[in-house]
Amino acid sequence: MASVNSIQILPDHVANKIAAGEVVERPASVVKELLENALDANSSAIRVEVVAGGRKYISVSDDGSGMNRDDALLSVERHATSKIRDVDDIEAVKTLGFRGEALASIASVSRFTITTRRRGDMSGTEISMAGGRILDVQETGCPEGTQVQVRNLFFNVPARRKFLRKEQTELSHVRQVLLVYTLSHPEMGWRLIVDEREAYVLPGQSSLEERLTDLFGSEYLKDLRPVDHQASEISVKGYAGLPGTARSSRSEQYVFVNGRPASAPTLGYALSEAYHSLVPKGRHPVIFLFVELPPDQVDVNVHPAKKEVRFRQAHRVRDAVINAIRDALSSPGETVITQSPDTAGRADIAASRTGTVFKIENLPETRIFEYPRLPSMEETVGNSPDIPDQTGHDTGDDGRRTRPWSWCRVVGQIGGLYVILETEDGMVLMDPHAAHERLLFEQFMRQAMHHSVRSQGLLTPDTVELSPGNALLVRRNLDLLRDMGFGISDFGGDSFIVDALPQCLGNTDPSSILAEVAHGLEEGGSRAGSERWSEERVASAACRAAVKSRDRLTLNEIEQLVIDLAGAEMPYTCPHGRPTIIFTGFSELDRKFGRE
């Protein structure tokens, strides 16, 4: 009896269906692949049309270079592409597509038509297919460019079709894909037709700012800061959201690598580190980031759907992204604190709550609060005898930085803790505990980064006992602590002698500071001791301990705190990500009171 081979070569139509399972997950996957082909064809305008969420019909048209008859026939074959020629080309891919299997995979699970005409040709070519088999090829009259029509997706794969969601769900995925590519290519004109109705039209030759305005509205841009950073061959541009706008998910994080929407562990880590002292755990900043670097420094051949990339020198990309975002969030601006109008406010003083940290002393007994106009930044910064100079950083040639307000008025305090401010744009609630911590942190970090931390000797050296785990962490970082202004030495066992503290921390209990510092170093994990993150952990923990030691602030100190916070590099959050201020605009108040 003749033996039967157990291993066989699969027929092309079966292989195409298997490949389609990797590339074509749902209608949005089809739109993605077709958009990438249209963008690679040097188009200036793209039209997308979907019916029933893409389940029944998808059409993507462009005005790009088009194809002749022979190229059109080759384009629907597996592993046929114009993007690469040999294996070396994969190491420096400049196009969005390169695998040469998208059209063949899509055609194998749909009723597929491609109509194309090359620029300058008198006529075009139309190819009709069903289930991966060519039904007809004919010459036709059509505009220059290419149109791909996909009908009855997964008609021959009923198991896959059952996994499709409702039409509205599939449509939302299609729109999300389109949103990503409209952001990555603002120079392109876009048009979306949904169920024969025009959903939106985006003009071409737009800037990223104009595209963001078209998609999200002009108000959206107010909470974004421009990013523009160059580090050798790596360019990082785009917009970074202020910490106060952080979301509960990563749905508003858009990162592009050489124009390709893609993710990478390095980028996720960089975003986390850039915001790690600004955004609370579980919150995610708004990001529109464009990373450009030489193609041979990026590996795009990682995922069948090209969702992920790898970098040849990941540490350089990581550092560039971190520095770019931090520069953006602390970039100089044009507003300064000026004198506020002569206005007076009224407020009822709520009964102070027990157990709160801050309480403003010597408030007027009357219910009417009339405060003098806050003087300008140049007249007051650093003049408070009670709170150290919190803004003693270089403000540039014109002495101006980005401010959360151009003028403000202290209205009063509620709950024995929160301070109410009036600004030119609305009302601000400030947590003086978090604000004070932010200012101490920035002062401490400026001194640490310039190796100019001023120490203050203790009248009597203090012996501090720590838990074994905390003692080990402190002992490993003694040199770092000394560089940051701590007079500390190992006393044996789990004990340490502290005879000096950083001057900016004031008269704080050394044992509470060392306990907080150890906890901060433990949270830093393997990052502690590398680059500037260990210094930030120490500063953040030390400042938290210092602020806890202050249970009261006077009214003069509060006013100075308001002025200094406006000059901070990041006035919106404390070093641990909690908000320092919560803003409510007059427009929002008018809307809530029905005055619009």
Could you report the per-residue pLDDT of 73-85, keeping only the tens digit for each? 988 887 656 544 4
The answer to the question of residue 474 being in a domain is yes
Domain of residue 265, residue span: 223-329
Which tokens sit at 222? 């107010």
DSSP calls for 210-233: HHHHHHH-HHHHTTEEEEEEEETT
Q: How confident is the model at residue 352 (pLDDT cuts 50, 70, 90)?
A: very low
> 420 and 300 in one domain?
no
Residue 18: the pLDDT is 54
> 279 and 379 in one domain?
no
Kindly report the backbone phi and psi dihedral angles of residue 296, in degrees, each rounded to the nearest multiple of 5, phi listed first: -75, -5
The model's pLDDT over 57-102, given as tens digits with 9 standing for 90+, comes to 999 999 999 999 998 998 888 765 654 445 454 555 556 655 557 8
Q: Which residue has the higher pLDDT, 442 or 535?
A: 442
Residue that terminates a domain, selected from 157, 172, 206: 206
Residue that terminates a domain, selected from 174, 206, 238: 206
> 175 and 61 in one domain?
yes
- Give pTM, 2 decimals: 0.65
The model's pLDDT over 518-575, given as tens digits with 9 standing for 90+, comes to 777 766 543 443 445 566 767 777 676 666 655 566 777 777 888 888 888 888 888 8
Task: Give the domain CATH number at 115.
Answer: 3.30.565.10
Residue 398: the pLDDT is 42
The answer to the question of residue 335 being in a domain is no
The answer to the question of residue 211 being in a domain is no
Residues 6+ apart with CB under 8 A from 272: none
Q: Which residue has the higher pLDDT, 366 or 299?
A: 299
Residue 92: the pLDDT is 54
Buried b vs exposed e over 52-80: b needs ≥16 C-beta within 10 Å?
bbbbebbbbbbbbbbbebeebbebbebee
The model's pLDDT over 278-295, given as tens digits with 9 standing for 90+, comes to 887 788 899 999 999 998
The model's pLDDT over 262-276, given as tens digits with 9 standing for 90+, comes to 888 889 889 988 887
> 407 and 372 in one domain?
yes
The answer to the question of residue 340 being in a domain is no
> 324 and 413 in one domain?
no
Residue with tokens 């900043």: 285
> 162 and 25 in one domain?
yes
Task: Give the domain CATH number at 284.
Answer: 3.30.230.10
34 has pLDDT over 90: yes
The answer to the question of residue 339 being in a domain is no
- Please choose, from the candidates 324, 69, 45, the residue with its C-alpha nearest in 3D space to the C-alpha of residue 186: 45
The answer to the question of residue 513 being in a domain is yes
Residue 558: the pLDDT is 78
351 has pLDDT over 70: no
Q: How confident is the model at residue 229 (pLDDT cuts 50, 70, 90)?
A: very high
- Distance of alpha carbon 63 from alpha carbon 41, whole angstroms: 8
Domain count, the chain: 4
The residues pairing with 260 across neighbouring beta strands, listed in sequence order, are 257
Residue 595: the pLDDT is 76
Residue 357: the pLDDT is 42
Which tokens sit at 229? 């950073």
Task: Give the domain CATH number at 585.
Answer: 3.30.1540.20
Residue 438: the pLDDT is 87
165 has pLDDT over 70: yes
The answer to the question of residue 425 being in a domain is yes
Residue that terminates a domain, selected from 548, 564, 582: 548
Task: Give the domain CATH number at 492.
Answer: 3.30.1370.100
DSSP calls for 507-559: S--HHHHHHHHHHHHHHHGGGTTSTTHHHHHHHHHHHHHHHHT---EEHHHHH
> 564 and 530 in one domain?
no
The model's pLDDT over 313-329, given as tens digits with 9 standing for 90+, comes to 989 999 999 999 988 98
Percent of the chain with pLDDT over 70: 73
> 78 and 148 in one domain?
yes
> 374 and 289 in one domain?
no
340 has pLDDT over 80: no
> 378 and 258 in one domain?
no
Q: Range with the lowest mean pLDDT among 53-57, 182-186, 304-308, 393-397?
A: 393-397
> 398 and 262 in one domain?
no
Whether the CA torsion 540, 545, 549, 551 is positive or negative: it is: positive
- Distance of alpha carbon 230 from alpha carbon 234, whole angstroms: 6
> 202 and 86 in one domain?
yes
Residues 6+ apart with CB under 8 A from 427: 420, 421, 583, 584, 589
The answer to the question of residue 2 being in a domain is no
Tell me if residue 387 falls in helix, strand or coil.
coil
